[in-house]
A = this chain, B = another copy of it.
Amino acid sequence: MSNCIVAQSGGPTSVINATVAGVVKANQMNPIYEHVYGGLNGIEGILNERFVDLSNMSDEENRILRQTPSSALGSCRYKLKRDNVADFEKLIKIMDKHDIETLFYTGGNDSMDTVAALSEYAEKHNITNHRFVGCPKTVDNDLMLTDHCPGFASAAKFIATTALQTWLDVNVYTRQEVFILETMGRDAGWLAASACLSGHVDILIVPEVPFDKDVFLKRVAECIKEKNKCYVVVSEGAHYADGTYVAAGEAKNDGFGHAVLGGAAKALESIILTSGTASRCKVQDLSTAQRCHASEQSLVDVTESFNLGMSAHMRSMDKAFTGKMVGIKRRPGKDYDVEYFAVEANKVANFVKNFPTEWLLPEMKGLNEDGYNYLRPLIQGTPEFIMKDGLPAYVTPYYMR
């Protein structure tokens, strides 16, 4: 009997571990693999044979793992390049040595590219005893074909909750005030848009619509005139029509050549104060907390993340199942319901699913009903959290044991 391995890549989320928990639980329910290994720090760790054995995880640990944010197996930003044959050969050799048949890889765009590249390599070299399966995750919700990505909904719920709470906070004084909430979202406005679920966003700025300073200041002035307050939400990746980031000047690069942004809200504050449109601004950059504040896990999200792990494992009984990503399809109908399916990973890799501009109101005024109808079902339900000494109980990361 062969083994499988599950690993995590890219930026962590509040529910990424639930997919691992799903793979482990599925194998306990139907042990088609002898061992379920966890690969530490993604492909980078697997290439160094850094494994743990997750096969006999207790049900309690499985439950705590599901509520633990961030990647319990560790992550990496190591990109498997198609021309780096040595890496491919080494990985196959390690899988041979440990009799690992299937690699489940949880991640975003880059990870799906890794899954696609590995399965292409295997096919090209007639390697039939190793298979590669992707499980989606990303707070950015920008993966193609799947209705949404595990991790997004919990980040959205944290953002919407925080927007509601800070909106209540900013209104307590009678003084003039603009509040600017900055969310993640380099290329796509899903996270910023989710703040609208609070019901109190006056101005929504997403990367899908070029930032127009005049329209922005006009709208701020309108709100100030109407109620002496204005609540603004901006994606870190907001940019002008010529592509210049609103946060320009503060942009750096990560290992993949993506811009690392920050400071769009601060830049807007400066625009407002310099123009004299309002006399006082407050800025809240949700930063790292938005992708790991698992206290706001959505029950829908964590359940789907777990189910995707189960589904990936169950589908892998089919020996032809490789180079695929499992995903979520929303069923038609009034009540929210989903089914799980699988697509070619190469149809997902390296594309970006933007927030639909047809769901946006004109002049940065937020979302229309289609936007709300998409978002609202995803944040429903609160899991029952296991607490320890006043704080949520989390597993010790496997890479620290």
Contact = CB atoms under 8 A, between A and B. Distances in A.
Interface of A: 8, 12, 41, 44, 68-71, 74-77, 157, 160-162, 164-166, 168-174, 179, 197-198, 282-289, 291-296, 298, 376, 379-382, 385, 387, 389-392, 394, 397, 399-400
Contacts of A387: 382
A161 B397 contact: no
Contacts of A68: 168
B77 A169 contact: no
- Is the contact region of chain A dominated by helix, strand, or loop, or is it mixed? mixed
Q: Count chain B CB atoms within 10 A of each CB in A282, A286, A390 and give the residue with the most.
A: A390
Number of identical protomers? 2
A246 to B, nearest CB: 19
Given A283-B287, A284-B287, A285-B285, A391 B164 contact: yes
A141 B179 CA distance: 25
CB-based closest 6 A-B pairs: A70-B168, A379-B390, A75-B172, A165-B292, A169-B292, A71-B172
B390 A380 contact: yes
Q: Count chain B CB atoms within 10 A of each CB in A164, A168, A293, A392 and give the residue with the most.
A: A168
Contact of A292 (B166, B197, B198): B166
Contacts of A198: 391
A173 B380 contact: no
A298 B390 contact: yes
A173 B288 contact: no
Contacts of A294: 165
A162 B293 contact: yes
A171 B165 CA distance: 29
A165 B70 contact: yes
B287 A285 contact: yes
B391 A289 contact: no
B12 A394 contact: no
Nearest to A381: B390
